[in-house]
Amino acid sequence: MNGFKDKVVLVTGAGKGVGRAVAEAFAMQGASVAANDISPINVEAVTAGINAAGGRAKAYVHDIAKKVAAQVLINEISDEYGRIDILVNCANVEPHGPLLDMDEWDLHRVFEVNSIGTFLMVQSVGRVMRAQGSGSIINVVKLPVESERAAYAASRIAVAGLTQLAAAELLAHKVHVHTVTVGLPQFDNVGQGYPDAVTAVLDLCGAKFAGENGKIININPLMGANHGK
């Protein structure tokens, strides 16, 4: 399949879960995949598997929650490929404990990765896409079903708001911003029916949603469970 042949796709959080599944799916569709994760072990295993299967992928180990590291990541990809056509934000971390037991470090890290890191990637890659005159950005947001994840939920729900406002701001530059949520039906503005998050991500970057912006697709958590966190 070559639905995304000649496209350069940056996937954050590509070392496991839905990030890994997204990276592998785009590679199967002919894209060149820039796979980012903070853990070299996981992401290098993903890219090795993609390349062994005949795809094209390269690992980039950077902490996207830090502005300098995020910019280094984007510069390296731009130097390697000359452009970034699609960004899929999957990077996320969960707190180590429930609301009443969380320490400040844990709270800050959750928001730095899940909210600020996503914002930094939308901002920095958005600038690249503005310069090249096109691009698609997909934010993947999963709401955990566990009751001890209040901080995680707050940090991820913020991304739904970011998507809608960023979509409006970047539309003039032909940059389209969408979100795929898991377990957040109240934000859905497209309609249910997708079997998993990966299928929804691919659709949002394809011809079906060409010209549309700010779409939010919600996946039933039970349907999307096979693609991890």
pLDDT in tens, 30-49: 999 999 999 999 999 999 99
- Local confidence band at 120 (pLDDT 50, 70, 90 cut-offs): very high
CA distances for 172 relative to 125, 210, 216, angstroms: 15, 14, 19
pLDDT at residue 228, rounded to an integer: 44
pLDDT at residue 191, rounded to an integer: 72
Stretch 152-170: mean pLDDT? 91
pLDDT at residue 145, rounded to an integer: 58
Residue 165 corresponds to which tokens in the numbers above? 């406002």
pLDDT at residue 199, rounded to an integer: 95
Stretch 75-92: mean pLDDT? 97
pLDDT at residue 166, rounded to an integer: 96
pLDDT of 224 > 50? The answer is no
- Local confidence band at 135 (pLDDT 50, 70, 90 cut-offs): very high
Q: SS3 string of 73-111?
A: HHHHHHHHHCCCCEEEECCCCCCCCCHHHCCHHHHHHHH
In this structure, the chain runs to a length of 229
Catalytic residue among 60, 81, 152, 194: 152
Percent pLDDT > 90 in the chain is 69
pLDDT at residue 222, rounded to an integer: 61
Weakest mean pLDDT among 51-55, 90-94, 120-124, 224-228:
224-228
List of domains in the chain = 8-227 (3.40.50.720)
End-to-end CA, the chain: 26
60 is known as an active-site residue = no
Q: SS3 string of 23-69?
A: HHHHHHCCCEEEEEECCHHHHHHHHHHHHHCCCEEEEEECCCCCHHH
Residue 199 corresponds to which tokens in the numbers above? 């299928």
Percent pLDDT > 70 in the chain is 93
pLDDT of 71 > 60? The answer is yes
Query: Which of 1-5, 143-147, 199-203 ranks highest by mean pLDDT?
Result: 199-203
Mean pLDDT taken over the chain: 90
pLDDT at residue 94, rounded to an integer: 81
